[in-house]
Structure 1
């Protein structure tokens, strides 16, 4: 589900709900999944309030519900905000200029007197040039989530099934009553 969610926008895992220790939740786009390291990668603005929350308390939860498969995944893990390094540079270079322009706008959550995208007027609906994006790079960050536990829940009218996988304990799997 996770690997498919990275490459297929129509999959439920492409846009999971990500929650932080302060109880805030938001939809984020899953950009990468490393099945060896059991790590998820999301892109974020380093000025977003969630970054400060994760710096203080790295507990992160990810919720995915695949309606077609009738499967719910609840992932719990440790988040980190990365603003420098090869992985961040690679993610930045892989993004389109249209996607990168988000990091030129106002800081996420900044108040406004009018409905706004936060982007400068001259960039509304326009892909900026590489030169215009130079200052945006400093606002780009990765949220990496190292998955520690997976709660898998299959809904079935014949009887639900639920399992917990603890990756901290060599992938110990335990069947649970739903």
Structure 2
């Protein structure tokens, strides 16, 4: 962060700006997030969209994944973002849900590249193999498939939506860390 924030409103605006940019720019530090589920499992996922009006984060997932089973139609989810260069950590807690069908999932599938769609063609996440494998069908290794070739993957594709209800913002500085928390309409400073 180039300067110390002056208000909680500035920080709230900064959180939204960072998450919107993180969803749009693949090289942005906030593009990769650690998502944790109630079974104490955590994994890195790509932030695909962030809606500032509803504070909803969107990620893509395989319906066959363990996290899809744990979250289902609703479960608590934690999400961690960290920008090393800016020394800013954003932790989010909220209600997650998996959507396989409907407008949001359909639009997410349509906006994905064929390279991304091919990931849903192979074995499900966590399938055991005797050899190192990407899980992709042999014919899909190293090439961009056609829309027709990736179409069968749609049945395994889903979105993870997290309605973030709590944001915990931490700025790391050698002069003294700063922390702010946001929940509903409440904003407060907190001890780091």
Same fold (TM over 0.5): yes
2:129 aligned with 1:147: no
2:148 aligned with 1:131: yes
**Number of residue equivalences:** 175
State which of 9, 14, 21 in structure 2 corresponds to 1:4. Answer: 21
Kept in 2: contact 1:21–1:57 (CA 8 A): no
Counterpart CA distance in 2 for 1:39 and 1:83 is: 17
Residue 89 of structure 1: SS of its match in structure 2?
A: helix
Root-mean-square deviation (CA), in Å?
Answer: 1.1
Paired position in structure 2 for 1:66: 83
Kept in 2: contact 1:16–1:63 (CA 8 A): yes
String of CA shifts for 1:93-135, please: whole Å, max 9, x gaps. 1111111000001000000000000111111011122222221
Counterpart CA distance in 2 for 1:67 and 1:128 is: 35
Counterpart CA distance in 2 for 1:123 and 1:70 is: 39
State which of 16, 20, 23 in structure 1 corresponds to 2:33. Answer: 16
2:178 aligned with 1:164: no
Counterpart CA distance in 2 for 1:38 and 1:56 is: 18
Kept in 2: contact 1:15–1:30 (CA 8 A): yes
- Uncovered stretches (5+) of structure 2, i.e. residues with no partner: 1-17
TM-score of the superposed pair, with normalisation by structure 1: 0.95
Deviates more, 1:127-136 or 1:84-93: 127-136
Paired position in structure 1 for 2:126: 109
TM-score of the superposed pair, with normalisation by structure 2: 0.88
Kept in 2: contact 1:48–1:108 (CA 8 A): yes
Deviates more, 1:136-145 or 1:53-62: 53-62
Paired position in structure 1 for 2:108: 91
Counterpart CA distance in 2 for 1:57 and 1:115 is: 34
Paired position in structure 2 for 1:173: 187
Counterpart CA distance in 2 for 1:154 and 1:131 is: 47
Q: 1:166 Cα deviation (Å)?
A: 0.5
- Uncovered stretches (5+) of structure 1, i.e. residues with no partner: none
String of CA shifts for 1:65-107, please: whole Å, max 9, x gaps. 1111111111001100000001111111111111100000100
Counterpart CA distance in 1 for 2:56 and 2:175 is: 33
